[in-house]
A = this chain, B = another copy of it.
């Protein structure tokens, strides 16, 4: 692009001082009308544009939030982070903020990216889409005093008490409890659980939702709890094989709740193959696949997660990132998911 006109060019063309041009741009009310019109004509004829970069440099504000784009997740639930990014971009836009994407090979590479982006005042804040106990990234951001919010709890000891680590998460336990309750209220009383191997912050939390309901409302004892659950990696064939074995061993099972839609799809294939297509199943994540095959599923409500994320970064109705002293209660948001109940479409 050609050299753009400067404020000095405008001042020269209009025969006024640079200060007057600045006043027309920033406080037009204090400029005499004929002067203002002359300056505006010069701005228009020269095609002068105010520089966001100059403003950014002066204010150190970029109206931009940085987020690492996780590597593309394959599999049925792979689109969760993308759906979150969509909700976040739309809601940030409504608040005058934009999302800047970057990638990173590992946590230390990500810290190097944080550093570059902060140095250039390219971003005002970060959103992290996954975090873990002792995560060096969140420690680094806290040390630098850089505003950030994570989608996901760190699953550490101080989860709920650290006012410096702002997070939003989905209450997976409540989601699985609602799923189990849904099957129970539909008449099921021998409800099994298909989940992931422990330890898994997210997985163990979801499993507890099932356990809570089957213990309190269906009177499961420890042995029944142990017998009516399987733990497999998050894959359709693994779930299919595990549920086939489970139904062999526990033929009276009359409902199955799952930690994910991948597991639910494998479960659906197993029950269909076993001639028990009527057996009700609930998945988790409400993916397009769940909709396509008519599986009930727990919906994470990512719009709500995005709203809470921006609330933590910018205040309730804010249009700029604010750094406030928060109490632990204010620093965390747990979003209750909702159950999407569907009549089965199914196969065959």
What is the interface of chain A, defined by CB distance below 8 A to chain B? 1, 4, 49-57, 60, 62, 64, 69, 71-72, 74-76, 78-79, 82-83, 85-87, 89-90, 93, 98-103, 116, 119-122, 145, 236-237, 262, 265, 268-269, 272-273, 288-289, 291-292, 345, 347-348
Tell me if B288 and A76 are in contact (CB < 8 A): yes
Tell me if B103 and A93 are in contact (CB < 8 A): yes
What is the bound-complex CA distance between A269 and B51, given in angstroms? 57
What is the bound-complex CA distance between A88 and B234, given in angstroms? 27
Tell me if B99 and A269 are in contact (CB < 8 A): no
Q: Which residues of B contact A89 (CB under 8 A)?
A: 69, 101-103
Known contacts A51-B120, A56-B53, A272-B347, A100 near B99 by CB under 8 Å: yes
Known: A98-B101, A288-B289. 11 other contacts (CB 8 A): A49-B119, A53-B122, A69-B85, A69-B86, A72-B86, A76-B288, A79-B79, A90-B103, A98-B122, A236-B345, A273-B347
- Closest CB-CB distance, A125 to chain B, in whole Å? 11
- Closest residue of B by beta carbon distance from A122: B52
Q: Which residues of B contact A51 (CB under 8 A)?
A: 57, 119-121
What is the bound-complex CA distance between A210 and B121, given in angstroms? 53
Q: Which residues of B contact A56 (CB under 8 A)?
A: 53, 120
Tell me if B348 and A272 are in contact (CB < 8 A): yes
- B53, B98, B145: which contacts A57 (Cβ < 8 A)? B53
Tell me if A60 and B102 are in contact (CB < 8 A): no
What is the bound-complex CA distance between A236 and B50, given in angstroms? 50
Tell me if A53 and B120 are in contact (CB < 8 A): yes
What is the bound-complex CA distance between A79 and B289, given in angstroms? 12
Known contacts A86-B69, A99-B100, A52 near B121 by CB under 8 Å: yes
Tell me if B345 and A347 are in contact (CB < 8 A): no
- Closest CB-CB distance, A174 to chain B, in whole Å? 24
What is the bound-complex CA distance between A265 and B76, given in angstroms? 14
Tell me if A288 and B69 are in contact (CB < 8 A): no
What is the bound-complex CA distance between A121 and B100, given in angstroms? 14
Number of copies: 2
Tell me if B99 and A101 are in contact (CB < 8 A): yes
What is the bound-complex CA distance between A239 and B50, given in angstroms? 53
Tell me if B60 and A57 are in contact (CB < 8 A): no
- Closest residue of B by beta carbon distance from A292: B236
Q: List 30 A-B contacts (CB under 8 A).
A: A49-B119, A50-B119, A51-B57, A51-B120, A51-B121, A52-B120, A52-B122, A53-B53, A53-B54, A53-B57, A53-B62, A53-B121, A69-B85, A69-B89, A72-B83, A72-B86, A72-B87, A75-B288, A76-B292, A79-B82, A89-B101, A93-B103, A98-B122, A99-B101, A99-B102, A100-B101, A236-B292, A265-B292, A272-B348, A273-B348
Tell me if B90 and A1 are in contact (CB < 8 A): no
- B64, B82, B262, B269: which contacts A100 (Cβ < 8 A)? B64
- Closest CB-CB distance, A244 to chain B, in whole Å? 13
Known contacts A53-B120, A82-B79, A119-B52, A4 near B60 by CB under 8 Å: yes
Known contacts A53-B53, A76-B289, A86-B72, A348 near B347 by CB under 8 Å: yes
What is the bound-complex CA distance between A49 and B72, given in angstroms? 33
Q: Which residues of B contact A119 (CB under 8 A)?
A: 49-52
Q: Which residues of B contact A64 (CB under 8 A)?
A: 100
